[in-house]
Structure 1
Amino acid sequence: MRYSLLVSGGLLALASAASVPSSEKKSYDGYKVVRLTVGEHVAKVQNIVDRLGLTTWKGKPRANADADIVVPPSLIGAFEAEIAGMKAVTMHDDLGASIADEASFSVYAGIEHLQFLDDLHSQYLNQSQVVSAGNSLKGNAITGIHFWGKAGKGKPAVVFHGTVHAREWISTMAQVVEYLAFNLLTTSDNAEVAGFLDKYDFIFFPVVNPDGFIYTQESDRMWRKNRQTTSGSSCIGHDINRNWPYKWSTSGGASSNPCAEDFKGKAEGDAPETVVLADWLKKTQAAQGVKLFIDWHAYSQLLMTPYGYSCTALAPKNDELQSLARGAAAAIKAVNGVSFTTGTHLLHHLQGRAGSSVDYVNDVTGA
C-alpha cells in the first residue's frame, strides 16, 4: 500500500499577511496570545476576531474547542472587554519576548544550515546523494537528501516535505526532518533500520519554501507564505499548501484574498515552488513509485490523512491510512508520552482545505 499523511506538531505559529521591507524586522513586542474556550459561542468568537482584525493559530473558531488568538498591544483592552466572562488563558504575555527567548537558545539556524545535508552525504558517499526538486521564485534551490541501503537505490520512495509554511522551523531542523535523516543514516548498521533502508529509498526535503523561510530569518519571524507578488494587490505571498493543482477551486477550502494567510493564488499551481515540487513527485512516481508521503507541519499534535477538500469523501485507502496513523501515534506516545490525535483533515478542521499537497499526492501522484 502507498500512503500520504500530514503531520502537525507543537510550535509557536502565526502569519502576517502584509509585506514587511527586508530592511525592517517586524516586532511582536507586547503582543499577547490568548487561548479562549469557545464552547458554543462560535459566532461570537468569530465576530470578535473579524471586527478586531485578529489572527488565530488554529484556523476558524470551532464549537467545544479552544481558539488561540493573537492580540496586538493596541487592541488588548478592546479584546479583553469583548471576552469578559469567557474562560481564557494567556499563552504568551509578550510574544516578542517569547521569540527573543527562542533565538537565544541557538537551536534554529538560517538557510545556510542546509550545508548539513552535504556534510551528511560526505559521510555516506555510497548510500546518499544531495538532490534538488528545482528552484523557488527567488532562485533558491529546494534541496533534499536521498539515501538508501546496501541493496542500492531505485526502490519505492518515502518522501518528506518540511517548512512549507515558513515560520514552522521545527519541521525543518534537528527536531524533525533532518533529525530523521541523520538518525536513519547513522544507525544504518542496526538490523531493523537496515531493513527499511534496503526496502525503500528515503528522500527528504527539509525546506520546500526557502524564500519564505529566509524572510522569517531576516524580517518577520511569523511569516507563513512564499514571497510571490499578486497583480492588483500590495500583499505578498501564496500559501503553497493551498496552491497544488488538485481540488484547488473547492468552495471554502482556501482564501481568494491575497492578504489572507491561506491565499491560494490566482490559479492552481501558479506558485513556482508548487510547480517544481509537483513535477518532481510525478517523475519520482513514474521512475520508482512513491510509497509514503508526509508533509510535516507545526502546531497541535495531529496525524492527519486525506482528504482535506471534502468532509464526506474518503480516500480509497482510508482504512489503511487510519491504521498507519494510529500506529504512528502509539509509537510516539510510547517514547515520550505525548498524545497525537488521528483522523482525516476535516475531522479536525471543520472548514475544507483546497489545493493541499497531501490530497494531490494521494490522488494525482498515487501515493
Structure 2
Amino acid sequence: MKLTKLAFFAPLAVASLFQPSISVSRAAEINYDGYHVYSVTPSSAQEAHDIAKRFSAYNTHPVRDTLSVAIPPHEVESFVALGLKARLVNADLGRYIRSTDKSSLYKRELHKRGELPELSWFDTYHPYADHLQYWDDLVHAFPRNLKKFSIGKSYENRTIYAFHLHGDEKKWHGKGKDDKPIILWHATVHAREWISTMVIEYLTYQLIDGYKRDDANVTAFLDYYDFYLVPFHNPDGFSYTQTNDRLWRKNRQPRPTSNSTCIGTDLNRNWKFEWDAEPPSGGSTPDPCGQTYRGLAPGDTPENKALDGLSAKLSKKGAGIRSFIDFHSYSQLILTPYGYSCDPLPESLPRMLEVAGGTARAIEGASTRNSTYKFGPGCQILYFSTGNSRDHHYGVHGANHSWTLELSPTDLAGGGFVLPPEQIWPVVKEQWAGQLWLLNDVWED
C-alpha cells in the first residue's frame, strides 16, 4: 500500500459522535471485554486520512490496505453509524485474549547449568522475569562466546541488556578481531509484539546449538560475524502488557503537557534520523496521546539513547553493521528504507531488495502454513513512518542492510498482536530459515 492512497491526519466530520473510553495514562487493568475489532477499508484517501486521525488514541494498526481498530462495547453502535466499510473480525477481544493465555512451561529448576534450556520454552509465552533467567541460562551454556552487558536503563530503571555472540576469534582472518562484520538484532520495541521476543530467542538458541554441534553453516557464521542482540528494547512496556494492558504499544515515560497527562512514546518514531520529516500523510504524531507519538525531541527516550549508543559504537568498528533487523509484528512484511519518504530512495535499494526477496523466499520455503512475505521500501508497501530504526541505522550508522521485519500473522484473522502460542513454533522456524539464507547471502557485502 502506498500512502499516497492512504493518508492519515485530518479531522473526521463525525468525530464528535463519540470519544475513546481508554486513557493511555490509565493505570488500572484493561481487559477489553466486549470490545469489537474491525478491519476498515477506506473508500478514499480522505476517508483514510480522517479515520486514522479519529482513532489515533485507540489500539489501531494499519495493515497493507486496511486499518484495524478496537472499539469499546458502548461505542460500537456509534462506530457502526459512521457507515464505514468495516468488517467485524472479533466480537469480544477480551475473551479472545484470555483464550490464548497458556501457562508458562519453563521449569528452570530442571535445567542443568552449562546446558542449553529445553526447547519447550517455545511452547508458550513467558513472564519478563523468566525471559531474563532464560538469557542467563543461554549465557551459562556458552560462557566463552556469549557475553551479557548493560547498555543503559529504561525510564522505570530496568536494565537494558545486550548480548555479544561470536565464534572462535582465532579463525577470523581479517585485520583484527574488531574488524568482523556485525549482525545487529533488536526485538520487543512495541510492547505488545510478544512474538518478536520469541524469535530473537530462537535465533540465538539455534546459533549456539549449531556451534556446539559443529554445524558447518552455523560455525562459519559465528566465526565470521559478530552478533549483537537486544531482546528487550522496551522492557517497561513489555512488563506493562503482562500486568495492565495486553495491547500497550509505547514505552512508559510520562509526557505531561499543558493539556495532556498521557504516557508513553513510540520508540520506533523517536530515532533521530528524519524525526520530524513531513511526508504527505504524516509519519508520526506530536500528540502525546497518539499511538505513534514521537516524543518532544529526536531520540529523547532513555531506551533509544541506550540503543543508539550501542549502534554508534558498532558502526565505528572496522567492518561496521552488515545487517540490522528490528523485529516487529504483524503483517508479514520485510521493510527496507525509507519510511519517511519515497523521494529519494537509497542508492543501494536494488541490492537490499535482492536480499529481502531471497530471505522472503527462504521463509516461505520453510513454512508449513503457506506463509508469504511482501518486501520493499516501507513508504511504498506499508505507510510513511518518520524517526524509525531502519532509516536511522541506514542513514546514520551505515548499515549495509537495514530492515523492519514484520512477523506473523498477516492480519487480524490470524490473531493480530495476540498471536496464539501454538503459532510460536511455525514462526520461529520460518525465521531461522530466513536468517540462514540471509547470513550466507550478505557474506561479501
Relative to the length of structure 1, the TM-score reads 0.87
Q: How many pairs are equivalent?
A: 341
**Residues 52, 75 of structure 1: 8 Å contact kept:** no
Q: Does 1:114 align with 2:132?
A: yes
* Residues 1:262 and 2:292 aligned together: yes
Deviation at 1:51, TM superposition (A): 5.3
Give the fraction of aligned pairs with identical amino acids, expressed as a percent: 38
Other-structure match for 2:70: 70
1:145 and 1:50 mapped to 2: Cα distance? 39
* CA deviation vs aligned residue, 1:16-64 (integer Å, no higher than 9, x gap): 761122xx211200001122333x34434554565577736333x98xx
Question: Distance between the aligned counterparts of 1:27 and 1:249, measured in 2?
Answer: 34
**In the alignment, which residue of structure 1 is the partner of 2:149?**
131
Match of 1:79 in 2: 79
Amino acid at match of 1:168: E
In 2, the alpha carbon distance for the partners of 1:52 and 1:355 equals 21
Give the Cα–Cα distance (whole angstroms) in 2 for the partners of residues 66 and 52 of structure 1.
Answer: 14
1:235 counterpart = 2:266:
no
Alpha-carbon shift at residue 150 of structure 1 (Å)? 2.0
Equivalent AA in structure 2 for residue 149 of structure 1: G
Which string of whole-angstrom CA distances, capped at 9 and with x for unpartnered residues, describes residues 285-316 of structure 1? 21342111000100101000001111211113
Q: Which amino acid aligns with 1:116?
A: Y
1:67 maps to amino acid = L
Contact kept, 8 Å, 1:130 with 1:143, in 2: the verdict is: yes
- Deviation by residue 1:82-118 (Cα, 9 ceiling, x = unmatched): 337x4x4332221101111222354211221221111
Distance 1:223 1:214 in 2: 10
Alpha-carbon separation, structure 2, partners of 1:55 and 1:32? 12
Counterpart residue number, 2:407 = none
User: Quick one: which amino acid aligns to residue 253 of structure 1?
Assistant: G
Answer whether contact 1:148 1:200 (CA < 8 A) is retained: yes
Per-residue deviation, residues 131-185 of structure 1 (Å, max 9, x unmatched): 2221111211111322111236642210100011111111012xx1111000111
Q: What corresponds to 2:31 in structure 1?
A: 27
Higher relative contact order (CA 8 A, sep 6+): 1
Q: Does 1:365 align with 2:400?
A: no
Q: Deviations over 1:309-328 (max 9, x none)?
A: 11211113111111111011
Aligned with 2:328: secondary structure?
strand
Gap change, CA 1:191 and 1:221, over 3 Å in 2: same
* Paired position in structure 1 for 2:187: 162
Paired residue secondary structure (1:196) = helix
In structure 2, how many angstroms separate the alpha carbons of the residues matched to 1:123 and 1:50?
Answer: 49
Contact preservation (8 Å) 1:17, 1:261: no
Tell me which residue corresponds to 1:7. none
Q: Which amino acid aligns with 1:242?
A: R
For residues 253-301 of structure 1, the C-alpha deviation after alignment (integer angstroms, 9 at most, x for no partner) is: 2100000010101111111111111111101221342111000100101
State the TM-score, normalized to the length of structure 2: 0.72
When structure 1 is superposed on structure 2, of 159-168 and 146-155 the one drifting more is: 146-155
- Give the distance between the partners of 1:25 and 1:268, measured in 2 at CA: 31
Question: Quick check: 148-157 or 354-363, which moved more?
Answer: 148-157
Change (3 A) 1:193 1:186: same
- Alpha-carbon distance between aligned partners in 2 of 1:101 and 1:143, rounded to the nearest angstrom: 32
Counterpart amino acid of 1:263? Y
Separation of aligned partners in 1, 2:48 and 2:35 = 19
d(CA) in 1 for partners of 2:56, 2:135:
41
Q: Residue 165 of structure 2 contacts residue 226 of structure 2 at CA under 8 Å; is this kept in 1?
A: yes
**Contact 2:56-2:290 at 8 Å conserved across structures:** no
Residue type matched to 1:238 in 2? T
5+ residue gaps, structure 2, are: 1-21, 105-123, 171-176, 400-445
Q: Within the alignment, does 1:212 sit opposite 2:237 as a pair?
A: yes
Change (3 A) 1:42 1:79: farther
Give the Cα separation in 2 of the matches to 1:81 and 1:49: 17
**CA distance in 1 between partners of 2:152 and 2:354 (Å):** 34
Aligned residue for 1:268, secondary structure, equals: coil
The gaps in structure 1 that reach 5 residues or longer are 1-15
Q: Would the alpha carbon gap of residues 263 and 169 (structure 1) be closer, same or farther in structure 2, given more than 3 Å must change?
A: same
How far apart are the structure 2 equivalents of 1:143 and 1:17?
Answer: 31
Among 330, 333, 340, the alignment partner of 1:299 is 330
Cα distance in 1 between the residues matched to 2:270 and 2:49 = 25
Which AA in structure 1 matches 2:207? L
Instruction: Write out the 4+ residue segments of structure 1 that deviate beyond 6 Å after TM superposition.
Output: none
Match of 2:205 in 1: 182
C-alpha RMSD over aligned residues: 2.0
Residue in structure 1 matched with residue 339 of structure 2 by the alignment: 308
